[in-house]
């Protein structure tokens, strides 16, 4: 008989959280800490969603998305998790750009970007300050008609090189494009590119382990390998979830699944009015990713001057279609040095990340698919050789993940690795007005994506749930 992963689960809870990405984990933790009876359900056997890792023979441990997140993570982890988690966050100090137009190294903060823009790009100090102040003042309620492309044109007309410097890291972090609303860029830029970039010492597995321990300390029940088939709704309000043939009652449900899957598959169209359902159906998915994971032989070391994060490109210009093209020209290399995992055998690992379109990979025949993966590996090694000389001989293990791998792992529609586009945020926030007790906390609208955005959105939604349950208790 298969193991029953729901064996110790109660018949009902105050809140059920579906999905254990950082948003789901954080919502569960905040609500558990507040005193609610919370159940966290995860379809995979590991918690963390895309905050994840995997092991391969030879003692290699690969992190998927650990490098790097903004300064604000320290505060959010201290407040919504533990001091121990916050204290393990360390800065990555060597951020490099290398493309046909410029090659430079930066500390990735406002002072250093200001210096670079003035010294290397001959922008006046006044323009740089005005740009930083303008994006910093951007607010979610501002006019949404201006695009990123228009914002850059206003401050740096005709300067593709500047756009590249200011945009490439954001594209890596959350899939933003020049066609997306400028306010989404402004908010993320001000968080991400003003106080440096950070990572978690000990690796993703250590972080998720500490989070799981804290969840249990706060009384949260956790069940892995438990895929929710249905969010049950009766009389316009949530009453529980169904996992296979098991029904579990709840007064509120927080879905950390993809927004479109939540509306379409977990709840179902019949529970929404037509206008809202149409709005929800019109939300665009964000793009997917490809990654290539490489481990150096155990005794080989990469010189740390190679950088922690390297935004590399051979494309002559920065364009959305080039970024997503299967003929890859842009790669972000994350270098993991032994200091990131001080308790593990000393290893140097490299992860190459590129944004990609799911549809380019979805329908390939098996042979073609394997061929494309091999091609991805070869072209990545070609590109890496410039930074890690003779890398082909030095690498002990290599593996590629196309969008289909992301899809299989996260169950996200279209293998989306950054949730939905901006309009998803409004739909996500409106859900409880249409089905009482139904909430969504997941990657929506760029602002709520990335590690910090996901954690903070989990808190924002936990606050909404607490408000609803408190109101019900007061009567």
Partner 1 sequence: MTPDDIRDEILDILSTIAPDEDLSDLKDDVAFREQLELDSMDFLDIVMELRKRYRVQIPEEQYEQLASMASTVRYLEPIMKDKQRAG
- Tell me which residues touch partner 1 (CB under 8 A): 34, 72, 75-76, 79, 456, 459-460, 463, 466-467, 470-471, 474
Q: Which residue has tokens 């250590």?
A: 206
CB of 429 to partner 1, least distance (A): 10
Whether residue 99 contacts residue 313, with contact meaning beta carbons closer than 8 Å, is answered with yes
Whether residue 211 contacts residue 84, with contact meaning beta carbons closer than 8 Å, is answered with no
Whether residue 192 contacts residue 446, with contact meaning beta carbons closer than 8 Å, is answered with no
Cα separation, 316 vs 121, whole angstroms: 17
Closer CB to partner 1, residue 362 or residue 459? 459
Helix axes 72-80, 450-474, angle to 10 degrees: 30
Instruction: Kindly state the helix (H) or strand (E) to which residue 336 belongs, with its residue range.
Output: strand 330-336
Residue 217: CB atoms within 10 A of its CB come to 12
Chain centroid to Cα 412, Å, comes to 12
CB of 456 to partner 1, least distance (A): 6
Q: Which of 90, 85, 69, 88 is nearest to 25 (CA)?
A: 85
Q: Which of 410, 450, 429 is nearest to 283 (CA)?
A: 429
| Local structure of 61: helix, strand or coil | strand
CB of 65 to partner 1, least distance (A): 22
CB of 374 to partner 1, least distance (A): 45
Residue 382: CB atoms within 10 A of its CB come to 12
CB of 85 to partner 1, least distance (A): 16
Closer CB to partner 1, residue 218 or residue 463? 463
CB of 459 to partner 1, least distance (A): 7
Closer CB to partner 1, residue 64 or residue 465? 465
CB of 464 to partner 1, least distance (A): 9
Closer CB to partner 1, residue 29 or residue 171? 29
Closer CB to partner 1, residue 144 or residue 463? 463
Please give the backbone phi and psi of residue 460, each rounded to the nearest 5 degrees, phi first: -60, -45
Closer CB to partner 1, residue 231 or residue 469? 469
CB of 463 to partner 1, least distance (A): 5
Cα separation, 372 vs 405, whole angstroms: 13
Instruction: Kindly state the helix (H) or strand (E) to which residue 54 belongs, with its residue range.
Output: strand 53-56
Closer CB to partner 1, residue 1 or residue 473? 473
Closer CB to partner 1, residue 219 or residue 342? 219
Give the CA distances from residue 400 to residues 35, 306, 373, in Å, rounded to whole numbers and listed in that order. Answer: 43, 22, 6
Cα separation, 405 vs 288, whole angstroms: 10
CB of 443 to partner 1, least distance (A): 18
CB of 457 to partner 1, least distance (A): 10
| Local structure of 260: helix, strand or coil | helix
Whether residue 236 contacts residue 229, with contact meaning beta carbons closer than 8 Å, is answered with no
Closer CB to partner 1, residue 122 or residue 474? 474
Q: Which region holds residue 63: left if phi is over 0, alpha if psi is between -120 and 50, else beta?
A: beta
Closer CB to partner 1, residue 313 or residue 456? 456
């Amino acid at each position: 008989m298969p193991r029953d992963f729901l064996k110790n689960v109660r018949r009902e809870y105050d809140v059920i959280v579906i999905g254990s990405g950082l948003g789901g984990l954080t919502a569960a933790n905040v609500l558990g800490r507040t005193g609610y009876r919370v159940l966290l359900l995860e379809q995979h056997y590991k918690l963390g969603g895309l905050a994840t890792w995997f092991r391969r023979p030879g003692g290699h441990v690969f992190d998927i998305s650990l490098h790097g997140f903004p300064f604000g993570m320290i505060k959010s982890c201290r407040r919504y998790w533990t001091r121990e988690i916050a204290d393990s966050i360390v800065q990555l100090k060597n951020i490099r750009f290398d493309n046909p137009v410029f090659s430079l190294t930066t500390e990735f903060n406002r002072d250093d970007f200001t210096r670079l823009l003035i010294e290397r790009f001959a922008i006046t100090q006044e323009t740089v300050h005005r740009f930083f102040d303008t994006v910093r003042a951007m607010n979610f309620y501002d006019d949404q008609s201006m695009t990123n492309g228009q914002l850059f044109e206003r401050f740096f007309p005709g300067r593709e090189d500047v756009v590249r410097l200011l945009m490439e890291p954001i594209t890596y972090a959350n899939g933003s494009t020049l066609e997306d609303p400028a306010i989404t860029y402004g908010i993320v830029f001000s968080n991400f590119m003003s106080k440096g970039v950070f990572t978690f010492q000990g690796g993703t597995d250590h972080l998720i382990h500490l989070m799981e321990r804290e969840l249990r300390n706060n009384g949260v029940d956790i069940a892995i390998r438990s895929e929710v088939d249905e969010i049950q709704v009766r009389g316009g309000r949530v009453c529980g979830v169904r996992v296979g043939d098991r029904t579990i009652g709840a007064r509120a449900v927080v879905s950390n699944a993809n927004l479109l899957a939540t509306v379409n598959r977990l709840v179902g169209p019949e529970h929404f009015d037509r206008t809202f359902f149409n709005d929800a159906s019109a939300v665009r998915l964000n793009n997917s990713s490809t990654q290539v994971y490489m481990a150096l032989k155990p005794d080989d070391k990469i010189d740390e001057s190679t950088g922690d994060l390297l935004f590399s490109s051979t494309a002559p210009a920065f364009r959305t279609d080039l970024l997503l093209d299967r003929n890859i020209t842009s790669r972000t290399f994350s270098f993991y040095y032994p200091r990131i995992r001080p308790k593990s055998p000393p290893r140097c690992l490299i992860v190459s990340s590129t944004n990609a379109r799911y549809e380019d990979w979805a329908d390939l025949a098996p042979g073609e698919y394997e061929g494309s993966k091999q091609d991805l590996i070869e072209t990545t090694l070609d590109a890496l050789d410039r930074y890690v000389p003779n890398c082909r001989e030095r690498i002990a293990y290599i593996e590629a993940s196309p969008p289909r791998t992301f899809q299989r792992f996260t169950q996200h529609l279209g293998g989306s690795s950054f949730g939905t586009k901006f309009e998803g945020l409004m739909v996500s926030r409106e859900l409880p007005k249409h089905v009482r007790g139904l909430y969504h906390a997941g990657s929506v609208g760029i602002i709520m994506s990335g590690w910090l955005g996901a954690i903070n959105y989990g808190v924002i939604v936990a606050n909404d749930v607490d408000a609803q349950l408190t109101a019900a208790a007061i009567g």
